Each structure stands twice: as structure tokens, then as C-alpha cells.
Amino acid sequence: MSQISTTRPAPPPARPGAAATAVATAAGNAQYLTFVLGGEMFAVGILNVKEIIEFGNLTEVPMVPAFIRGVINLRGAVVPVIDLAARFGGKPGVAGKRTCIVIVEVADGDTRHDIGIMVDAVSEVLEIPAAEIEPPPAFGARIRTDFIAGMGKVDGRFVILLDVDRVLSVDEIATLADIGRPTTILPA
């Protein structure tokens, strides 16, 4: 499996809210990794990205929500892989030649978790000035608006900036996984 690692500075001690999901530069710009999903352009703050790997070697896990594609072994660690298309309420993604898994780091209190997200194709790292970022739309988005940190304007088009801590909320995913499990009723 070939992999592309990203070099990133150590994260700041506390990252309050979605605005902190990008790397701020002296000019007030932020860096985002952009990717394509279902024909739309999305982005996540580069500080959340650990690496990008080829799609493959996925082990399916029974009785989990449909958006959890399975797990991969990443240098001895078990990393869950989320199908973002399914997580956003659409049809499960279909793996193609350019399909990748982006390994991102999400916060769960004081703990950090690595989670893979399946995307159609990785595009590039963009620097988006803060002045070119609009607040999330109140309605009309194809995904939950609480998943959107903002709308970045790049070359006359919008890029949906995701709040990875919300999209990949460890608590919410665990709750959704529990819903799919059968319960055992013990005799009295």
C-alpha cells in the first residue's frame, strides 16, 4: 500500500470550535485539504489531516451503521473508515481508481482518535483567506448544516469546509452503532 504522508506542525493545546480546524497563517489565511465527494468539492483543515492512503485492505465490521465501511490496520492500529457519502445521508460511495482514505485526527474530550474518511479523490491543499469564508448556509445544503464550518470561495466557486469534529463525532458514531445492535432481554 503506497501512502502519502503530510507534514504538519504540532496541534495547539486547545482547539475551540470549527474555526480552529485550519492552520492560520500570518496573513489571516487558512490551509485546507480539498477533496471531491459525489461531484462536490469539500475541504478539511490541514491540521486535522495525518495522511492519505490508497483505498483497500478494508475489513468489514458486522452490525454497524452503513456509513462505517469497516476498519483498516494502519501500522498496527485499528482505524475505522467512514464513508462520507453515506454519512451525509446519500448512497454509499463506490470505490474507483482515485478513491482514497484520508486519515484525520478528531477530538473526544482530552483524547484524540484517528479515523479514516473515504473520498472519491483528493484534490489539493488550498490557502483560503478568512475574508473568503462565509458562514454555513441556514438551509438548502445536502448535508447537515452542523457538519459545515463554512463556505470557502475559491476561484469563483464554493468549497464546503467541514467541521471534522462534528462529522466524525466519536460519541455520535458510537451511539449510532449501538442503535444497530440487537438487545438481549434477560429472563426475570
176 closest CA partner among 73, 82, 46: 82
What was the pLDDT predicted at 14? 36
pLDDT band at 19 (very low <50, low <70, confident <90, very high): very low
CATH of the domain at 72: 2.40.50.180
β-pair partners for 158: 153
Is residue 125 included in any domain, yes or no? yes
Is residue 68 included in any domain, yes or no? yes
With a CB cutoff of 8 Å and minimum separation 6, the contacts of 73 are 57, 59, 79
If one compares 15 and 35, the residue with the highest pLDDT of the two is: 35
pLDDT band at 146 (very low <50, low <70, confident <90, very high): confident
If one compares 107 and 174, the residue with the highest pLDDT of the two is: 107
With a CB cutoff of 8 Å and minimum separation 6, the contacts of 44 are 21, 32, 33, 35, 102, 104, 161, 162, 164
Range of the domain at 125: 29-177
Is residue 39 included in any domain, yes or no? yes
**Total of domains in the chain:** 1
Is residue 88 included in any domain, yes or no? yes
Q: Record the pTM.
A: 0.75
Is residue 5 included in any domain, yes or no? no
52-66, 88-102, 174-188: which has the minimum mean pLDDT? 174-188
Is residue 18 included in any domain, yes or no? no
